[in-house]
A = this chain, B = another copy of it.
Amino acid sequence: MTAENKKAAEWIKLLQNSGYRQTEARNTIVEVILETNRALEPLEIFEIARKRQAGLGLVTVYRTLERLEALGLVQRVHQPGACNMYLQAPQGHQHLLICTSCGKAEFFNGDDLTPLMETVAARSGYQITEHWFQLFGCCADCQRK
């Protein structure tokens, strides 16, 4: 059993514990998300998944993403070109690093933005509750090309 399969089994289990059923459509959609290292649009997930499961409906992809997001298993990703992309959510507090050439997404941690946020809070009077931070660049593979 690969690491991906293991994780897929975990996700399905979590869905079941929340009262959802295990279905072929969900299995396939979860596999597609877990084996892809970049954020995907619903239509992309649909096209990949339908090759494995003929008859799958795009609407089921939308519905499954909704549930996975509610459980915190996937995360919506905004990019300049598309704002409705989904990616496996990180464990803990991490931020995204996205390759503008191939789309590959990695998480990084270790940002300590607390001092900056305190300064901004003090100056502005805002009570800061959330931050969006995302890096874009060219990955090592794409630099070689």
Residue numbers of A with Cβ under 8 A of B are 78, 83, 97, 99-100, 106, 108, 110-112, 116-117, 119-121, 123-140, 143
Contacts and interface: CB of A to CB of B under 8 A. Distances in A.
A45 to B, nearest CB: 19
A138 B129 contact: yes
Contact of A139 (B120, B126, B133, B139): B126
Nearest to A138: B127
B134 A132 contact: yes
Q: How many copies does the complex hold?
A: 2
Contact of A78 (B83, B128, B138): B83
Contacts of A135: 117, 120, 126, 128, 130-132
Nearest to A76: B80
Contacts of A134: 131-133
A125 B140 contact: yes
A19 to B, nearest CB: 26
B110 A126 contact: no
A124 B143 contact: no
16 contacts: A97-B124, A99-B126, A100-B129, A106-B126, A110-B119, A126-B140, A127-B137, A128-B135, A128-B136, A129-B137, A130-B136, A131-B136, A132-B132, A132-B135, A132-B136, A133-B134
A120 B132 contact: no
A126 B137 contact: yes
